[in-house]
Amino acid sequence: MYSQKVLNHFYHPHNMGHMKNPDGVGEVGNPICGDILRLYIKIENNKIKNIRFETLGCAAAIAVSSMITEMVKGMKVKEALKITKKDIANELGGLPAIKMHCSNLAEEALQLAIKDYLDRKSKLQKI
């Protein structure tokens, strides 16, 4: 049912845990299945220097959370915004159709974290 990559990221998630003083936070949930993902980012020189996650959910939700952190670490913010749910699923070797909604969580959380960062940055520049 799950690819070896999905299982590896589920059993050995990368970049899991809380981040102190993040530059941006994105949190999303799926009310139907109950999965929740909180993504934290640190930005330096317009690149994602560090990224961490906290996920309450199934194996697929944890795997996509872990994978998105690996995909965007070191990436320019503008490029990270282009990542889609399909990109994430493909990096994991695919997801069962019934679990594709989990990749939505990662895409949306990343976009919200970047938006939060940009909003914070904009407010600081106005001061």
By annotation, the residues acting in catalysis are: 33, 102
Q: In degrees, to the nearest 5, what angle opens at C-alpha 32 toward C-alphas 28 and 33?
A: 80
Query: Token pair for residue 29?
Result: 């949930």
Question: Among candidates 14, 7, 126, 124, which has minimal Cα distance to 67?
Answer: 14
Residue 3 tokens read as: 């690819």
